Structure 1
Amino acid sequence: MQIQEAVLHRIKKAKGSSGAGAATVEVRTDLLAIDERLERTAADILRIYGKATNGYGTFDADEVVYPFPVLLRNHVLNGHDHIPFSQNTTRLIAAKMGEEPFATGGYALFLRYTSQEKDWLLVAMLKLKPGTGIDEQTLELSDTLSFDIDHLHEAARVDLAKWQANTQPYLSFVKKRQGGEDVSRYFRAALGCTEYTDSKHNTTQLMAAVDDFCEAQGWTPEQRYAARNRTYEYCEEKDRVGEPVNLTALSAHIFDQQPAVFAEYVREQGYEVSETFKPHKTTYSRFKRINGKVGSIKVSFDVADLLADRVDYDEDHNFLIIRDIPQDLVDLIHKHKPRDNNAPAD
């Protein structure tokens, strides 16, 4: 990770307050120094963010109601400085925070950085937590305050290249609920985050994650098939009753010995799978069946047939091999297959 620009602004708001003026802003006028302390803090925040991300989406198209994309475009494309961009965005967040009685203040971090040859912008609300420190000279204990990074409830990240190309989803974010309340809703509203609900994209990403997870676990073909089949059955059941797939619940189905490990793998590896989404039947059916076409020939068989060696593929000759063909099908093939009249008689 290479930090390009970073700045913090403060929003002050008492819990339980709401309405105009409930949230006030205290802004910095210069960037944070890019030093070891910032790099360490940023790395910790991004590590937690990777685990906490559970939503993907785009910006709302109504830029009058949701002006953050305008601010971002002026900053990234028109060269407006990071400081006014971040100050104005903090004011948008504060305005929405003021409408939420249970929201409390915090520090708005704006982090522009490059990683894996990509340009990113992270916006996160950080809270402080009390602690105990020590004076190295007197060895006396003292009260300290530090960022409570482990409890990251409000954060969003933009893949700036994907955003400029309008390749969806280019936005990820954290959604947190407490006591049935969506405590991060105001933050997403301030940035105009809109959930990306493309069923096929989510299901395709899920399929890739399941296969890669099985490989990372070093599972046998039989274990991989069982995981894929459990995923298929879960998606099929959710589709049948008209409910969304829940990644946390699915994780427990895939690997019940460690119920959370698959969901953690999805987040840590950056697969674009929302916490809940509608399963795409044609896509998740590939967990169970292989379908294809060769000319006018339609091919369809269960993955289980591969494991049972009833179907195989000869890579050297590019042949699809089907074994144990029933006699009635053999008879039909013989009936319709042209005879070679020049073949020698028995």
Structure 2
Amino acid sequence: MEGTIHNLIISSIKRDDKNIAISKTREEENDVTKLSENVTTKLTTLFKGGGMKVGEFIKEPEESAFSNLMAGSFKHESMRFKDYRKLSTLFAELLARKLNKAQAVNARDGFLITYYYSQDFNDEEVYYLCTVFLHRIDGTDINDQELIFEDIERINLDSLNLGAKICLNDWIENEPRPISFKLGKGTGDVRRYFQDFLGCTEPSDYKADTNALKDAITETCQRLGIPTEQISIICESAQAYCNDRMKNYDEERISLECLSMHLFPKEDDSNQFLDIAHNEFKLSDTIGIDRTALRSFSRIQGENKDYKLSFNTGALNKSIIFDRNHKTLTFKDLPQDILDDVLAYLPPADKQGE
């Protein structure tokens, strides 16, 4: 879904003859009204697919410099930045400093694109601050006049390798994991310092992530119009897949992208699942699995002060009937030992049905 870009500015971070990274930012913001529809669509749909991570800004031993720069420029009442050009300049200077430290001096230079956009979700406006670092890519073109090959340098907006998206709504409300980011494998040494530039960590809660995974699968199935009985089968398939990867392949973390292709073979369905898992349930590209929570993929369980319940999801509307109006469950085919125990506790009159 395409969004509306409110601010955009491009900074160049280039190494001089002494290999020092120096940032240079436009004197004024780019005119977003002159962006082509193609560029707008690419920029506002860039953060999707495999390889995405989620994170939070570091607060200890000191707050993230990136977060502090945001806080110093953001106006809550209007959901806008008071001097976007200055903020973008400070971001570029911060990244340049990071690229001049330790092993980062081997990292390639490039362009930092910082843009701010919003999207409407069910009549709620959601705002995102994005920062994307693009390397120059060697390419080949054909000269129209001489009809010969010529070497060119270009950038590629068709795939994201290094970038971050901060949900301002979540950031304002101190919600967990407001950052979505990607550190591409093809970005060399700079990928290790981009996360430091953001000042973010990738938190992990195996139990919470496993429960969120089940909810993301269920939500995707419901949006795809998959029947309830089939949803249970897909959840059980996810459970079997995770158990297999952990047991037979010694995988400590499960790839969300691989799981998505296993559960949803159609590319559009798989992409929709990844989008829901990343953006709505705040899951990274790989997640740790809690074995206890994983059991809930094929079972419904819960308890109160009087009883505990646990049964296979496949039993719903078969041996266990749910009444939506009264919100009650009716159990059929009860085992004889349970029937005997129940009858043993009932008064004689109840046993006779009087």
Q: Using structure 2 for the length normalisation, give the TM-score.
A: 0.81
Distance in 2, Cα, partners of 1:344 & 1:298: 27
In the alignment, structure 1 residue 267 sits paired with structure 2 residue 271: no
Counterparts of 1:63 and 1:134, CA distance in 2: 55
SS of equivalent to 1:10:
strand
Partner of 2:53: 55
Displacement of 1:301: 0.8
Q: Which structure 2 residues correspond to residues 168-317 of structure 1 after superposition, within 5 A?
A: 168-178=176-186, 184-236=191-243, 243-255=252-264, 257=265, 264-269=271-276, 270-271=279-280, 272-293=282-303, 296-306=306-316, 309-317=318-326
Against the structure 1 CA distance between its residues 153 and 316, is the aligned structure 2 distance closer, same or farther, given a 3 Å change threshold?
closer
How many residues align? The count is: 335
Distance 1:53 1:338 in 2: 62
Cα RMSD (Å) of the superposition? 3.4
Tell me what 1:31 maps to: 29
Aligned to 2:335: 326
Q: Give unpaired runs (5+ residues) of structure 1.
A: none
> What does residue range 126-137 of structure 1 map to in structure 2 within 5 Å?
126-129=134-137, 130=139, 132=141
Letter in 2 for 1:304: G
State, as a whole percentage, how many aligned pairs show the same letter: 23
CA distance 1:305–1:154, change in 2 (3 Å): same
Cα distance change on mapping 1:261 and 1:244 into 2, 3 Å:
farther
* Equivalent residue, structure 2, for 1:166: 174
**3-state SS of 1:249 partner:** helix
Aligned residue for 1:274, secondary structure, equals coil
CA contact (8 A) 1:162 1:168 kept: yes
CA 1:30/1:62 → structure 2, altered by over 3 Å: closer, same or farther?
farther
| Counterpart AA for 1:3 | I
Contact 2:164/2:181, CA 8 A, preserved across alignment: yes
Aligned residue in 2 for 1:93: 95
Q: 1:263 to 1:224 in 2, by over 3 A?
A: same
Q: In the TM superposition, what is the alpha-carbon distance from 1:158 to its structure 2 partner?
A: 0.8
- Structure 2 unaligned segments of length 5 or more: list them: none
1:337 aligned residue: 346
- In 2, distance between residues paired with 1:217 and 1:52? 20
**Aligned-partner SS, 1:48:** coil
In 1, Cα distance between the equivalents of 2:326 and 2:90? 64
Distance in 2, matches of 1:344 and 1:120, equals: 65
CA contact (8 A) 1:202 1:274 kept: no
Distance 1:22 1:141, change over 3 A: same
Instruction: Choose the corresponding residue for 2:114, options 104, 110, 120.
Output: 110
Q: Which of the residues 112, 121, 133 maps onto 2:129?
A: 121
Counterpart contact for 1:52–1:152, Cα < 8 Å: no
Partners of 1:58 and 1:94 in 2: how far apart?
22
Quote the offset at 1:77 in angstroms: 4.3
